[in-house]
Structure 1
Amino acid sequence: MRSYLILSMCVLFLIYYFIQNVWIGYFVVLLAITSFIGSALNAKGFPRIIGILMMGTGIILEIYKGTGAEGISQGILMILPLLCLVTLAPLLSIPLKLGGYFESIDTLLRNLLHHPRQLFAGITTSLFILSPILSLGSVRILSEFLSDLKLPTAMSAKSYLIGFSTAIMWSPYFASVSLVLYYLDMEVGKYIVYGIGLSFLSLIIGNGLFALWERRNPLERTHTPEVPLKKESQKQLILLGMFVTLLLCSSLTIEYLTKWSMIIIVCMISILLPIAWGLITKGWHRLIPLLKNYRDHSVPMMSNEIMLFTSAGLFAHAVQGTTFANIVSDFLTGLAKDSILLFAVAVIVIVVVVTYLGLHQIAVIAALAMQLKAEELGISNLSLAMLLLLSWSISSASSPFSGLNLMVSKIVGISGFETGIRANGLHLAILTVIGLGIIMIIS
Structure 2
Amino acid sequence: MCFLFLIQYFAGLTWLGYVVVVIAVLAFITSAYFSRGFPRIIGFIMMGTGIALEFSKGAGFHGVSEGVLLILPLLCLVTLSPMLSMPLKLNGYFQSVESFLQNLLHHPRKLFFGITSSLFILSPILNLGSIRIVSEFLESLKLPSEMSAKSYLIGFSSALMWSPYFASVSLILYYLNMPVGRYIIYGMGLSILSLLIGNLLFYLWSRNHTVSAEGFPVVQLDKTHKWQLLKLILFVMILMSSSLAIEYVTKWSMVIIVSMISVILPLMWGVLTKSWRKLTPLIKGYRDQSVPMLNNEIMLFMSAGVLAHALQGTTFANKISELLIAIAEQSFLLFAMAIMALVLLVTYIGIHQIAVIAALAMQLNADELGISTLSLAMLLLLTWSISAALSPFSGLNLMVSRLVGMTGVQTGLRTNGVHLLVLAILGISFVMMVK
The separation in 2 between residues aligned to 1:204 and 1:255, in whole angstroms, is 30
Any conservation in 2 of the 1:71–1:318 contact (CA below 8 Å)?
Answer: yes
Amino acid at match of 2:30: G
Counterpart position of 1:52: 44
Any conservation in 1 of the 2:106–2:212 contact (CA below 8 Å)?
Answer: no
1:154 aligns with 2:146: yes
Q: What is the aligned residue count?
A: 435
Counterpart position of 1:314: 306
Counterpart position of 1:231: 223
TM-score (normalizing by structure 1): 0.97
The separation in 2 between residues aligned to 1:218 and 1:289, in whole angstroms, is 43
The separation in 1 between residues aligned to 2:153 and 2:21, in whole angstroms, is 35
In structure 1, stretches of 5+ residues that fail to align are 1-8
Amino acid at match of 2:150: K
The separation in 2 between residues aligned to 1:227 and 1:190, in whole angstroms, is 42
Percentage of pairs with the same residue? 64
The separation in 1 between residues aligned to 2:258 and 2:216, in whole angstroms, is 43
1:136-175 mapped onto 2 (5 Å cutoff): 136-175=128-167
Any conservation in 1 of the 2:317–2:363 contact (CA below 8 Å)?
Answer: yes
Of the three residues 51, 54, 64, the one matched with 1:72 is 64
The separation in 2 between residues aligned to 1:20 and 1:314, in whole angstroms, is 21
1:194 aligns with 2:147: no
**4+ runs deviating over 6 angstroms:** none
Of 225-234 and 187-196, deviating more is 225-234
Q: For residues 288-326 of structure 1, what are the alpha-carbon distances to aligned partners after superposition, in whole Å with 9 as ceiling and x for unaligned?
A: 110011011111111000000000000000011111111
Cα distance, 1:228 vs structure 2: 1.4
Of the three residues 343, 366, 386, the one matched with 2:358 is 366
Counterpart position of 1:4: none
TM-score (normalizing by structure 2): 0.99
Of the three residues 331, 344, 351, the one matched with 1:352 is 344
Cα distance, 1:167 vs structure 2: 1.2
Counterpart position of 1:418: 410
The separation in 2 between residues aligned to 1:47 and 1:410, in whole angstroms, is 16
Any conservation in 2 of the 1:42–1:303 contact (CA below 8 Å)?
Answer: yes
Counterpart position of 2:377: 385
Amino acid at match of 1:69: F
Counterpart position of 1:3: none
1:247 aligns with 2:239: yes
In structure 2, stretches of 5+ residues that fail to align are none
Cα distance, 1:231 vs structure 2: 1.0
Amino acid at match of 2:262: S
Of the three residues 192, 207, 220, the one matched with 1:215 is 207
Counterpart position of 1:27: 19
Counterpart position of 2:322: 330
The separation in 2 between residues aligned to 1:25 and 1:358, in whole angstroms, is 31
The separation in 2 between residues aligned to 1:241 and 1:354, in whole angstroms, is 37
Q: For residues 62-84 of structure 1, what are the alpha-carbon distances to aligned partners after superposition, in whole Å with 9 as ceiling and x for unaligned?
A: 00000011111111100000000
1:406 aligns with 2:385: no
Amino acid at match of 2:90: L
Counterpart position of 2:429: 437
The separation in 2 between residues aligned to 1:214 and 1:181, in whole angstroms, is 38
1:7-18 mapped onto 2 (5 Å cutoff): 9-18=1-10
Any conservation in 2 of the 1:157–1:423 contact (CA below 8 Å)?
Answer: yes
The separation in 2 between residues aligned to 1:20 and 1:435, in whole angstroms, is 40
Cα distance, 1:227 vs structure 2: 2.4
Any conservation in 1 of the 2:43–2:304 contact (CA below 8 Å)?
Answer: yes
Q: For residues 380-438 of structure 1, what are the alpha-carbon distances to aligned partners after superposition, in whole Å with 9 as ceiling and x for unaligned?
A: 00000000000000000000000000000111001111100111111111111111111
Of the three residues 293, 296, 305, the one matched with 2:297 is 305
Amino acid at match of 2:349: L
Any conservation in 2 of the 1:356–1:399 contact (CA below 8 Å)?
Answer: yes
Cα distance, 1:219 vs structure 2: 1.8
Amino acid at match of 2:321: S
Cα distance, 1:88 vs structure 2: 0.2
The separation in 2 between residues aligned to 1:167 and 1:213, in whole angstroms, is 22
Any conservation in 2 of the 1:176–1:392 contact (CA below 8 Å)?
Answer: yes
The separation in 2 between residues aligned to 1:173 and 1:193, in whole angstroms, is 15
SS at match of 2:393: coil
Any conservation in 1 of the 2:43–2:300 contact (CA below 8 Å)?
Answer: yes
SS at match of 1:50: helix
SS at match of 1:144: helix
Any conservation in 2 of the 1:113–1:222 contact (CA below 8 Å)?
Answer: no
Cα distance, 1:90 vs structure 2: 0.2
SS at match of 2:160: helix
SS at match of 2:217: coil
Any conservation in 1 of the 2:99–2:219 contact (CA below 8 Å)?
Answer: no
SS at match of 1:330: helix
Of the three residues 388, 392, 395, the one matched with 1:396 is 388
The separation in 1 between residues aligned to 2:138 and 2:319, in whole angstroms, is 48
1:115 aligns with 2:107: yes
Q: For residues 99-127 of structure 1, what are the alpha-carbon distances to aligned partners after superposition, in whole Å with 9 as ceiling and x for unaligned?
A: 11001111111111000000000000000
1:177 aligns with 2:175: no
Q: For residues 145-186 of structure 1, what are the alpha-carbon distances to aligned partners after superposition, in whole Å with 9 as ceiling and x for unaligned?
A: 111110001100000000000111000000000000000000
Any conservation in 1 of the 2:120–2:155 contact (CA below 8 Å)?
Answer: yes
The separation in 2 between residues aligned to 1:354 and 1:59, in whole angstroms, is 19
The separation in 1 between residues aligned to 2:370 and 2:214, in whole angstroms, is 55
Of the three residues 72, 79, 86, the one matched with 1:87 is 79
The separation in 1 between residues aligned to 2:423 and 2:171, in whole angstroms, is 22
Cα distance, 1:221 vs structure 2: 4.0
Counterpart position of 1:42: 34
Cα distance, 1:439 vs structure 2: 1.3
The separation in 2 between residues aligned to 1:401 and 1:149, in whole angstroms, is 28
The separation in 1 between residues aligned to 2:213 and 2:98, in whole angstroms, is 19
RMSD of equivalent CA atoms:
0.7
Cα distance, 1:218 vs structure 2: 2.5
